[in-house]
Amino acid sequence: MLQQSGGEALSHELTLLQADLIFLGGLVENAITKSLNSLTSRNLDESQEVIKEDDQIDKRRYDIEDHCMKIVREFAPVAGDLRRVFSSLLCSQELERMGDYAVGISQISIKMGPGPTFKKLVDIPKIADLSINMMKKSLEAVTENDRELSLKIANSVFPDDDKVDELNSSIQKEMFDLMSKESKPIGIRNGTYLIWISHNLERIADRATNIAERAIYQAGFEL
């Protein structure tokens, strides 16, 4: 049986590390999607599922950290390989925090109860779609081996972050306007909850932006 050379073995481990990161991204995307579905459908059982399944995301994040430490310990990577290892480490942390925001949305949804939301949800699903797309593109950028393509994909993330910020500001203004005219405490409470949900989605977008910036650094370009 032929043994792999040190370079081949390192390349294999980096490929596995990329696969781990992509898998974690899939878990996080599912958590965000389910948290929004549960919010719009008022399916609180689905909210509970997101909370319970967060342990899987946490475990995968720490598995990636262990894998990174193993690669550093056994192969002592340098230059581009070392950047890729530490980028994977940092990106796993960003993804895990996105999962926490999905949990936060689910917890808020449960607090709101099974009844209808304060108002019909229009802009919040838009922010969710943008944030999920940003996460997917940033993850694609950081796991892309072609430097120029990675840069192109990463740069496509930043304009969407501006759109998310604008929508979040719009939602906050609308909620404050509606709550100022609301006489029922439950309406004011649920309006506040929607502001929190919008904030969580905006933070997911910020984390995706961090990953896109990390992809640019990993590829060896200046930010």
* pLDDT for res 2: 41
Question: For the chain, which residues make up each domain, given as ranges?
Answer: 6-218
* pLDDT for res 4: 58
Q: Which two three-digit tokens encode residue 146? A: 């072609």
* pLDDT for res 96: 98
* pLDDT for res 5: 63
Residue among 35, 24, 11, 115 nearest 63 (CA): 24
What is the reported pTM? 0.92
* pLDDT for res 9: 92
Q: What is the C-alpha separation between 197 and 95, in angstroms, rounded?
A: 18
Question: HSE-up of 218 (CA within 13 Å, CB side)?
Answer: 31
Architecture in CATH of 6-218 = Up-down Bundle (1.20)
**Residue at token pair 């209808």:** 116
- Proportion of the chain above pLDDT 90, given as a percent: 79
Please give the single-letter amino acid code of residue 116.
P
* pLDDT for res 105: 97
Which residue has better confidence, 85 or 117?
A: 85
Question: HSE-up of 49 (CA within 13 Å, CB side)?
Answer: 15
- Proportion of the chain above pLDDT 70, given as a percent: 96
Average pLDDT, integer, range 115-137: 90
In degrees and rounded to multiples of 5, residue 76 shows phi and psi of: 45, 60
